[in-house]
Amino acid sequence: MYKLIDKLEKDHVLSKEEYKKLISGFDSDLSGYLFEKARNTRHRFYGKDVYIRGLIEFTNYCKNDCLYCGIRCGNKNAQRYRLTKDDILLCCKEGYELGFRTFVLQGGEDPYFTDERMTDIIRTIKSDYPDCALTLSLGEKEHESYKAFFDAGADRYLLRHETANPAHYSKLHPPELSWQRRVNCLYDLKAIGYQVGCGFMVGSPYQTADDLAQELIFLKELDPQMVGIGPFIAHHDTPFRNEKSGTMELTLFMLGLIRLTLPDVLLPSTTALGTIHPLGREKGILAGANVVMPNLSPVSVRKKYMLYDNKICTGDEAAECRYCLQTRMKSIGYNVVTSRGDHFQSSKRLRSSKQSVQSIATAEKLTD
C-alpha cells in the first residue's frame, strides 16, 4: 500500500484497481503517510498560502429535484429567496474590503436569472472590481449561455459532476437529469476557456470503493483546474433523510489522493467537511487542500441555503467568517492570502501574456 502511494507521488496516476485497493484498505497510518506527501506536493506549487473565495449564495430557487439536496424543488419546507443585483453588489463591496479577490456566485438552477440578468450582473461586478476573479456556479446551461457569461467577463465555473459513475448518478437524481449531459457541460466549459471545477460527494448513498476509484480516473481524464469534494450529509426534508453521512476520514483520504493525482489543482477544504467535524477544514488543508470558501451571503438568508443539515457559519457575519478562517489557518501554520488565487498553470499563462504585452510595448518604444 505504501508503495502504491510512492508510485502515485512519482507518476501522478494509478490504475483503477490500485486506487481501489488504497480506498478500500486505508487506515490512519497510511493516511498520515499520504497526507505528508500531499502537503509536500501542495507546498511545491502554492507554499503555505491558502486562497480564499467569497461565496455569495444568491438564490435558493431550483428547478431540479436532486434526491440529496435540501433546496430541491420538491422540498416545500424550504423558504425561498433571491438576492437582487444591489444585494449581490453589496456582498462584493463588503468582500472586497475584507480582502477577497475572488467572488463565487452560487445558486440553484433558477430560471428567473436569465442570461440577460446574469450577464448584466457579471459585467457590473467585473467593471467595479477589475482586479477580481469571478466564479459562477449556476448548474447546467446551454453552450450559448456559458459563452455569453464568459464573454461578459466570468473567469471560472464550478459544476460538480457528483459521481463519475452514470449508474450511480441515476440513483442520486430524478430520471430527467442525465450524467452525460452534465459531463458534456464540463467539457463545454473547458473548451470555452473557463478555469473549470468539478467535484463529488464522499459517502453518498450507494457509493462504492469502485465508484471512488472511478472518480480519480475521471479527474485524470477531465484534468480540471479545481475539484470540490465534501462528505454527503443527510438533509431532513429529502428522500435521503435517513442515509448515513460520509466520513471525515474517507473525505480526507480522497483529498490526499486528488492532490497527488492532480498536483497543482485548486482544492477547497469545504464547509461540509467543517460541518461533520469542528476541525474538518483544518484537517482538509493538512491533507493537501489549498482553498477555503468563507460565506459572504447576507446573514438574513444564510439559514435558507441549507443543502444539508447543521451547515456551519449560518449565523456569522462575513467578517467573522473571514477572520475565523484566518485564525484557524494560522493555527496550523498556513496563511490566508489576498490574491485572485489562480490555478498554477493558468496564472503562469496570465503572467506570460502580461509579460509579452509588456515586451511588445517595450519593443514598440524602442522602434519609435
In sequence order, the β-bridge partners of residue 148 are none
Nearer to ligand 5AD, 16 or 244 (CB): 244
Among 101, 156, 160, 173, binds ligand 5AD (CB under 6 A): 160
Q: CA-CA distances (angstroms) from residue 288 to 10, 235, 275, 330?
A: 16, 28, 19, 16
Q: Which of 69, 262, 276, 329 binds ligand 5AD (CB under 6 A)?
A: 69
Give me the phi and psi of 187, to 5 degrees please. -70, -35
Provide, rounded to whole angstroms, the least separation between the CB of residue 275 and ligand FES: 11
Q: Which of 316, 332, 339, 345 binds ligand FES (CB under 6 A)?
A: 316
Print the binding letters for residues 295-324 with ligand 5AD: x by CB under 6 A, - otherwise: ------------xx----------------
Among 213, 234, 321, 329, binds ligand FES (CB under 6 A): 321
Number of residues forming the site for ligand FES (CB under 6 A): 7
- Helix residue spans in the chain (DSSP H): 2-11, 16-25, 28-46, 85-97, 115-128, 143-151, 166-172, 179-192, 209-222, 248-261, 271-276, 280-286, 299-302, 318-331, 344-367
- Of 276, 249, 134, nearest to 195 by C-alpha is 134
Nearer Cβ to ligand 5AD (94/309): 309
**279-308 residues near ligand FES, rule: CB under 6 A:** 294
**Which one of 205, 230, 268, 274 is in contact with ligand 5AD (CB under 6 A)?**
230
**9 touching ligand FES, by CB under 6 A:** no
Q: Which is nearer to ligand FES, 196 or 313 (CB)?
A: 313
Please name which of 44, 3, 5, 49 lies closest in space to residue 261, comparing C-alpha atoms: 5
Binder of residue 316, out of ligand FES, ligand 5AD, none (CB less than 5 to 8 A by kind): ligand FES
Q: Which does 324 bind (CB under 5 to 8 A by kind): ligand FES, ligand 5AD, none?
A: ligand FES
User: Segment contacting ligand FES (CB under 6 A): 34-42, 72-80, 163-171, 320-328?
Assistant: 320-328
**SS3 state of residue 330:** helix
Q: Is 290:266 a contact under the CB 8 Å cutoff?
A: yes
Residue 137 contacts residue 160 (beta carbons within 8 Å): no
Q: How far apart are CA 152 and CA 144, in angstroms?
A: 12
Is 154 one of the binding residues for ligand 5AD (CB under 6 A)? no
In the block, residue with C-alpha cell 490566508: 336
Scanning residues 233 to 252, which ones bind ligand 5AD (CB under 6 A)?
Answer: 233, 235
Nearer to ligand FES, 18 or 316 (CB): 316
* Cβ atoms of 227 and 256 closer than 8 Å: no
Q: Give the footprint of ligand FES on this chain (CB under 6 A).
A: 294, 313, 316, 320-321, 324-325
